[in-house]
Amino acid sequence: MAARAQDAPDHPSVTVHGQTYTPRSILVRNMGGPSDQTMAFPPHKIIGNLYYVGTSSLSSFLVITTAGNILIDSTYERNVPTIQKSVEQLGFKFSDIKILLGNHAHGDHQEGDALLKELTGAQVAAMAEDVPALQAMKPGGKPHPIDRILHDGDSVTLGGTTLIAYRTAGHTPGATTWLMKATEGGKFYDVLLFTSLRPPVVLTSPVIEEFNRSFQIVRSLPCDVPLGDHPSEYHMQEKFAKIAADAPNPFIDREGCHLEADIQEAMFRAILAEQHGN
């Protein structure tokens, strides 16, 4: 189940790049209201062979290849028909999805895996450390499918497109940031699909170590196009509004590549300081 805004505290607060955040405000920003979590956002091309097919507050990405397609994040099971409609509105076949990936084992991102596999036959790949949580995720009693277990640094390749899985744990033990290359106008761009770096309100020693490692990793990865498991993390709606035939691609945003990491690391450090009485 996803966290609820009322479960998140209004302290500590941090100010990053002129904006003030609390754990609750970040959660509200990410999740929106119930309708935001289920209402389709206009499906659109991001860059190259990468498309958005998610809702207003829950990301789902479609990668088109010559050997079939890859979907990243099924979101809630109830959203699978919405994702299917978005895929088809773009002119692609839902049945052409051959591989299903996820970014972390929470229901708002991967609850729909079983239904999506049932409808498409897609092979489901998951980071090893998230497998126990995924196996416990059984909407309607359906077992959670896992066809391939991934490890940090593994790659998933289909039809000439490769995505590399980086374990950026903390939010969940197997939270995964995906890196792929896309081409546009004869140039290659590094696309980073970030997983959540939002820290829990109580930090244990293992989780602290995981977050310290994960913030280092995401800052070290190449990035031209930052994306996230929630559209608000990369200002999707604002960028979508700037799409125009003769304008630069608004999703190419090198300056924004570390913005979410800056926000979440500041919150992580503030929670840690509060927890230790500093």
Instruction: Encode pLDDT of 218-250 as tens digits.
Output: 999 999 999 999 999 999 999 999 999 889 999
How many angstroms separate the CA atoms of 223 and 201, rounded? Answer: 29
| CATH code of 14's domain | 3.60.15.10
pLDDT at 167 over 60: yes
Q: Which of 64, 130, 141 is nearest to 102 (CA)?
A: 130
Rounded to an integer, the average pLDDT of 166-176 is: 98
Contact partners, residue 182, CB within 8 Å, separation at least 6: 46, 47, 48, 49, 50, 188, 189, 191, 225
Please, which pLDDT band fits residue 276 given cuts at 50, 70 and 90?
Answer: confident
Given pLDDT bands bounded at 50, 70 and 90, which one contains residue 4? Answer: low
Does the pLDDT value for residue 274 go beyond 60? yes
- CA distances (Å), 91 to each of 84, 204, 249, in order? 11, 47, 21
The percentage of the chain sitting over the pLDDT mark of 70, rounded to a whole number, equals 97
Our count of domains for the chain comes to 1
Q: How are beta strands 44-47 and 68-72 bridged, if at all?
A: unpaired
CB atoms within 10 A of CB 229: 31
Span 17-39, mean pLDDT? 96
- The beta-strand segments (E) located in 103-224 are 123-127, 148-150, 155-158, 161-167, 176-184, 187-194
pTM for this model (two decimals): 0.96
CA-to-CA distance for 99 and 63, rounded, in angstroms? 10
What is the average pLDDT value for the chain, to the nearest integer? Answer: 96
Q: Is the pLDDT of residue 277 over 60?
A: yes
The neighbouring-strand residues paired with 61 are 52, 72
Give the CA distances from residue 175 to residues 60, 112, 196, in Å, rounded to whole numbers and listed in that order: 16, 17, 7
| Joined tokens for residue 187 | 């140039």
1, pLDDT greater than 50: no
Domain housing 219: 5-275
Mean pLDDT of 90-118: 98
